[in-house]
Chain A
Amino acid sequence: MADLRFCAHFPFSDEARAWVREQKLQLDVTALTDAESRLRKAFTSGELKMEAGALDSENRLQVMSYAASRLILAAWGNRWAARRMAVAESKRAHEYLKSSEDKRAAYADKLAKSLGLAFKSADASEALGDEKSESAYLIAFWDYLRFAPKDVHYKLVNGKLEKGWVRISDHQRLRIIEEAVRKRLEEPIPPLKEPDAEVKRIITRLETLLPRENLAVTKIEMKDFPPCMKKLIDDLRGSINVPHLGRVALAVYLIKAGLSDEQIAQVFSSAPDYNAETTMYQIKYARGKGYSVPSCATMDTWGICIATCRCGSPVYYREAKHGKAAAASLGLRTPHMGVSEKSTQEDA
């Protein structure tokens, strides 16, 4: 007998999927309508709220709406949509895991297991300092490396590694589970060849919510960008989730390159968890603070240095690559770094 509440909270879990298969239910109009609103919410706000599900019938509907949303994504084949959903669904799962109800039911253990993640409970008395009373867990370092957020606070060198196990707090454990969920949902969905007419209609309606193509507008001269910045932009364009510090580095770089807040926001608009308001706030904040572009060494510690250009700082890349004359000519440029994307392709 499936635990319907677990299935509703974590509709991507093996248990929920098995339940859907067992029911042999056709995805009806109700499920498709619910799914459309689920996708719509995630596309516009970047998040999905938890829903109270005391009744089995409510839980059932939630599982079905998730299953229908995956069917729509399978028929659609849009990368941005799939990644945006992966972020929203994994954040929602995290919210559930934090709830006292899920804690009582030890759903984190169950979900972790179904994701192939093994946590051991560590002797809490050994946990010292910043995690005083929080219960501590151990995770195998390879799982930690694969699923911990790409963030300076989760760098292994700052962590507690012993005999192959990394000691983490309960909070970190839930965050790692969230990442594992996101990664699983980002895996390619097998395409659905012949969707029915209703699914096609929903896709047409949802297409209006996709971020607009903005390459022609921003006019970034990509060939002058160092590989690390190019990679960050490419990742954003491909709707790959870029870690927070990567976004900071890119935003500061683009500010220094003379782009306007709006132009920078457009670069970020294809991020899977894009939220127009937050993004604009953060760009303005970074501009106000007058941050300088992180050096190569800092980029390296943040885990976003990807090349061996070793130019000292991304701002010196152009100089290092093309010589001093190039640096001087950059100084003469108009605020928007001038040339359009098109000229980059011609150069290539």
Chain B
Amino acid sequence: MAVSPHYWLAERFGAYYARAQPPSLPRLERREFGFGGWERKIEFRHLSFSSPIKLAETLAKDKPLYVSASSAYYEFPDARPMVRKNWQGADLVFDLDAPSDKCASGRGMPCAPFTCSECIHRVRENMVRLVEDFLLADFGLSRNELQIGFSGSRGFHVRAYKKEMEPLGRDERREIVDYIEGSGLTVDQMLVQEPIAGHPNMYKLRGPTPNMGGYGGKFAKKVVAMVKDSATAGTISPKLKKKENAERFIAGVNEGRWSDVPITHALDVFKQLFESMKLSVSNSVETDVNVTFDTTKILRMPDTIHGGSGILAKTIPLGVDFSSYEPMHQALAFSMDKAESVKALQAIPVISLGNRTFDAIEKDKTVELPTAYAVYLVCKKVAVPI
């Protein structure tokens, strides 16, 4: 008789936790935990653990498919209702996910429930921008104050640990997101057209200087950097490919004059550039902004297995380049050697996992696959163990 997929997965997850390094988070004993199973991602919450070892023991014994932890610290993490927990502060967390109804590959069909590498790369690019352009450059955080990791499914989690930020409430966290999204900012506020006397159809363009700080300064810096680089100068205007024009343009911007070298459709060109600077968390990627505002939410515990993929929500180690991280190949919990038999419940497309590419599988066909891939398909509910 075939085993139930839930039982089959739980056995493997439990065995993993029994041998793996216990997953940990700073001040783990102050956090609330939640476990989920086959039906729901969070079936129990308000749990707490005194140490990573105690948590790992429970994971090996209870074998949950999903493990969530709070970004918040509480005096009494297991108290109920929420107010009795006595909130003491929270990490700043960003949750970036690839949209499940669209696919970045341009193949038309959404790749969900699977995650194609194009989708992962699109989210990763945004994660890199969030980290480099905003958290490091503007907010002045350092790489070792950030924990960057795969979410286990279709995106990345970025957690910032800084004592001074912990007390920030919902409104203040919303300000941070508004900043990153450039909410309410338009290029018209940055660039002003000044009429030229005697020339009714001509105008001068005044704008920010690179040393101004804020979005204005950021914008000016970006434009200057683009013009300095002969490879990108042309995208603003073909005129700027000429070295002397580029130099004249930069000298002007440094003084707030943006039209020393007149550019055709300047406002449109700069508008497009300006918009691309904001990290639009609602268009290209789905950032669950609630995760950032809601300081009582629980979310995937780093370095635990995601029950929807069987892949680890793995923390990217400090020495590893997060801009080229490939979670589908580098965040596996299970072996690529051992073989398991599974039966496909539907047609399964070509999928890459663990540095291998697997052929498409026909519906109802029974195949022998490496553990990591078999677990992946069973988690996706497209195959059952035999």
Contacts and interface: CB of A to CB of B under 8 A. Distances in A.
Given A126-B211, A128-B209, A301-B183, A161 B175 contact: no
B81 interface: no
Contacts of B216: 160
Interface string A123-161: 000101100000000001111011000100001111111
Interface in A308-331: none
A163 B138 contact: yes
Contacts of B213: 126, 160-162, 167
A53 B269 CA distance: 60
A291 interface: no
B139 A157 contact: no
Contacts of B214: 158-162, 167
B172 interface: yes
Nearest to A165: B140
Nearest to B171: A303
Nearest to B140: A164
B66 interface: no
B222 to A, nearest CB: 14
Contact of A156 (B140, B178, B209): B178
A157 B183 contact: yes
B184 A157 contact: yes
B137 interface: yes
B111 to A, nearest CB: 27
Interface residues of A, number: 25
A287 B65 CA distance: 58
B164 A156 contact: no
Interface string B188-219: 00000000000000000000010111111100
Contacts of A146: 167-168, 172
Given A157-B179, A163-B138, A301-B184, A129 B212 contact: yes
Nearest to B180: A157
B165 A142 contact: yes
A158 B214 CA distance: 7
Nearest to B289: A308
B176 interface: yes
Contact of B171 (A126, A129, A150, A163): A150
Contacts of A158: 185, 214
A157 B182 contact: yes
17 contacts: A128-B209, A128-B256, A129-B212, A141-B140, A142-B168, A146-B167, A155-B184, A156-B178, A157-B178, A157-B215, A161-B138, A162-B214, A162-B217, A164-B141, A167-B214, A301-B184, A303-B171
Interface of A: 126, 128-129, 140-143, 145-146, 150, 155-165, 167, 300-301, 303
